């Protein structure tokens, strides 16, 4: 079910599937570079606005990661202005799941964050988080 959107950018498709539940799907042609991740964050912040949302991020297995991308906390802005109440990240490939788990261990976030292999599990977890108001 789609509540609002989709809003397509160069690297992602954003869709609200509930009033405060945003799905961010990276396109298979996307790349994880520092500049692209900064652009994606700016797009996401614009789409979210001022009211924090639960965020489901889906990363297809084709998306490569530049090592330099793992050296920066790409959610640093969340410490000053919270837009993400909880984050569930779905990485289809074992390698991407490992990279994401390392990232969230190295850069603890001010919101609950969990990495999953399956979208259904990620949605179940998000729906169980008390940190966002449905």
Rounded to two decimals, the pTM is 0.90
Q: Is CATH 3.30.750.24 the right assignment for the domain spanning 4-127?
A: yes
Out of 39-48, 85-94, 123-132, least confident range? 123-132
Judge whether residue 4 has pLDDT over 70.
Answer: no
Q: Give the tens place of pLDDT for each residue, 31-89.
A: 888 899 999 999 999 999 888 999 999 999 888 888 888 788 878 777 788 889 999 99
Strand order in the sheet with 21-26: 4-8, 12-18, 21-26, 53-59, 84-91, 113-116
Paired tokens of 103: 């990232």
At 107, the pLDDT band (50, 70, 90 cuts) reads: very high
């Amino acid at each position: 079910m789609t509540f609002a959107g989709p809003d397509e950018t160069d690297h992602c498709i954003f869709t609200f599937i509930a009033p405060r539940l945003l799905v961010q799907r990276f396109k298979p042609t996307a790349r994880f570079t520092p500049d692209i991740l900064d652009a994606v964050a700016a797009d996401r912040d614009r789409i979210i606005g001022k009211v924090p949302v639960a965020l489901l991020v889906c990363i297809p297995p084709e998306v490569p990661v530049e090592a330099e991308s793992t050296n920066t906390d790409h959610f640093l802005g969340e410490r000053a202005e919270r837009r993400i109440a909880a984050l569930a990240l779905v990485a289809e490939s074992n390698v991407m799941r490992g990279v994401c788990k390392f990232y969230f261990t190295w850069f603890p976030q001010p919101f609950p964050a969990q990495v999953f292999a399956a979208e259904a599990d990620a949605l179940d977890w998000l729906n169980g988080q008390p940190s966002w108001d449905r």
